[in-house]
Structure 1
Amino acid sequence: MVSPKTPWIGPGKRPIISYAAGTQGMGDSCAPSRQLKAMSEYETLFFKDLLLRGYIVALTDYQGLGTPGTHTYMVREAQGHAVLDMARAAQRAGFPGTDTSTPIGLSGYSQGGGAVAAAAELAASYAPELTVKGTVAGAPPADLSSAVPAKIDGTLYSAFQLYATAGLFAAYHVDPASILNDKGVALLPRVEQNCVTGLFDLAFVKSATLTKDGLPFTSSFGEEPLRTILADNRIGNRKPNAPVMITHSVSDDVIPYPVGKQLAKDWCAKGANVSFRPLLAPAHVGGILSTFALALPFFKARFGGLPQVSTCAVL
């Protein structure tokens, strides 16, 4: 948790942003809290402006990242709970002027976008006591059974697919040997120790070289247990109880643009207040700065009590 030196000049109590980091990796050494201590956390480039606006920033390590067990990467409920639990902890951390009624914002991009999107739709049932004012979900990987795996399989970002495989297998107690060949099973320990700073160590791996049937991971998505696992981790089946802004680059090369747009449509169909913001920034990485530039006026308006204009009518 990071408390700003900037005085809070907005209305009411100083808000807390429960901030979900983008992909850090799977190893314990990748945990945001450890990266912050080592001054190597890349997310500080993006949340520093939140601090400069006077918000407290609470950054979750996620489940199993820096703690015993496998990091539950891409597991919807675990990531959503981690974001909400971090908000609860921040309210009770003893920062001046904060208490259990302190207003909350949720913000994240990529893995973090999926985590805060999951948190937004779980808040009403899992943390009804939190006053969530709004969520900024950038490039959320809302549907893992869609085009995401095929988009990154065998590319620079193939590590992300391997992280998700390890995280989902661990969370759902899937025997890796039931799907993976000997090479795939032997690779998992390396995956579970890898950090995104070592992305090239797992880059350009084709999933077909790791499976028992010699086919890509996607070939098993219609079969159990993966069919149920992927359906369980789809975001968009529950209505957020506060305004949400979804951003997504139209040229995203990791999480395809239609995935974010479909999440907006799913939430709109449930009556949620959603603003969907297409970005012209190049590729997945390019969308990060644009997202957090938009997050600043979004949170200023939400904490100021202003309504969000929904874009559901034009989706």
Structure 2
Amino acid sequence: MPSSRLTAALAALATAVLVPLAAVPASAEELPAFYQAPATLPAANGDLVRSEPMRFLLDPAGASRVAVTSTRVLYRSTDRTGEPIAVSGSVFVPKARWAGPGPRPVIGYAVGTQGIGDDCAPSRQFSEGLEYEGVFMSGLLARGYAIAMTDYEGLGTAGMHTYMDRESQGHAVLDAVRAAQRLPGSGLSAASPVGLYGYSQGGAGSASAAELAPTYAPELKVKGAVAGAVPADLTALPGAIDSSIFTEFLWFAIAGQTASYGVDIDPYLNDAGRALYAEIADDCVFDLFNAAFRSSEDYTADGVSLGGLIAREPFRTMIDDQRIGRRAPAVPVLVTHSLLDDVVPYRVGKQLAKDWCAGGATVRLSTNASPGHIGGMLNNAAEVYGYLEARFAGVPAVSSCRRL
């Protein structure tokens, strides 16, 4: 990645953490009409409910609108239980003719943590110029790849965003690719080669999609996946981020998991906890300071930390269900992780690679020493280009499994 792009990426990520709450639009009392699901959804997963042109502000001047066709989509997917749901997302297709061999590839792009409020949905943030993922998308679009990006379940659409729900996120990523291939005028089709990409929450989305693709979307021509800083084992997170600047990620996860499993969280919280829980329901990643440096012990009914709470039922089973690594992807995967990651411990990413290797997958583990979780995102973004180019070209993937 050129130094100028690295600088832009750092600025965007710093903004994502440091922008004051006033800079983020307040949640609407009612969802915009586009995001409201019809009474009856289409018949097949990935089928479009509706689409509309989208203003895509990759840069402050809006110059990207000249080079990319941007479309907001609403499509059918399935939740954790297999029930049909409407999920929103975005499709980006370069206007320049694809110069490579065969059909234009499409990247199933799983976004990193956005928050859990409906206003946080990338398909809405792109039009506001506040979406940090735009920086990392630029290199993929410059290479001529199309991008299919999901907002995930409940992010933009009705209901709570099921943050870190393994199956729901994997389904949403794969169905976004299907929706892009079925979008009239996109130039994409079922013959389009597919790559999967994501970091952090997006790393989990990409990893889960890679695991689920052979059974959930066997017709997709997935060639490879890149998954960075994957929170493959959620039990490792409370010890790393409780009472830190990233504490709110824990509350996002509890909110998402309890919503997915229909568990009432109120009995497990004290009055302060219930107030905090209500407050974060509309928060985006910009709002991390709302819960930063607070200990979760101060918000539970019996003073146990969230780390202790998830060791008990019904939370223990819910969290265990989200474990990634118990089935091996059928395509090569690049796993990136920083030794200095301060959100998702490095040992989690390494164990994921080992688990996949034990299952027979072709895995390359790329370890770096970038500063913190945010620094690791830059390494992940820089490595994706060469890795996916090689997969699309049919070059055999290098494996790290013998040395893990």
| Smaller-chain TM-score bracket | over 0.9
Deviations 1:156-183 (A, max 9, x none): 0001011001101111111112322222
Structure exhibiting the larger radius of gyration computed from Cα positions:
2
Q: Give the counterpart letter for 1:15 in structure 2.
A: P
Partner of 1:60: 150
- Contact 1:137/1:245 (<8 A) preserved: yes
Bigger relative contact order (CA 8 A; separation at least 6)? 1
Deviations 1:243-302 (A, max 9, x none): 100000010001110000000000000000100000121111001111111000011000
- Contact 1:140/1:260 (<8 A) preserved: yes
2:97 pairs with 1:7:
yes
Q: Give the counterpart letter for 1:84 in structure 2.
A: L
Runs of 4+ off more than 4 Å: none
Root mean square deviation, CA, Å: 1.1
1:268 to 357, 366, 372: 357
Distance 1:213 1:269 in 2: 40
**Which stretches in structure 1 are left out of the alignment for 5+ residues?**
none
Q: How does the TM-score come out when normalised to structure 1? A: 0.97
Query: After superposition, where does 1:286-305 map in structure 2 within 5 Å?
Result: 286-305=375-394
SS in 2 for 1:106: strand
1:109 to 172, 191, 199: 199
- Contact 2:93/2:186 (<8 A) preserved: no
2:189 to 99, 120, 126: 99
Distance 2:372 2:144 in 1: 30
Distance 1:126 1:16 in 2: 18
Partner of 1:35: 125
Q: 1:136 to 1:95 in 2, by over 3 A?
A: farther
Distance 2:100 2:402 in 1: 31
SS in 2 for 1:277: strand
SS in 2 for 1:2: strand
Q: Give the counterpart letter for 1:51 in structure 2.
A: L
Distance 1:151 1:95 in 2: 46
Distance 2:370 2:148 in 1: 27
Distance 2:273 2:365 in 1: 38
Structure with the bigger percentage of strand: 2
Q: CA deviation at 1:80?
A: 0.7
Equivalenced residue count is: 314
Q: CA deviation at 1:5?
A: 2.9
Q: CA deviation at 1:95?
A: 4.2
2:228 pairs with 1:123:
no
2:160 to 62, 70, 73: 70
Q: Give the counterpart letter for 1:184 in structure 2.
A: G
Distance 2:122 2:228 in 1: 18
Partner of 2:309: 220
Partner of 2:325: 236
Q: Give the counterpart letter for 1:243 in structure 2.
A: P
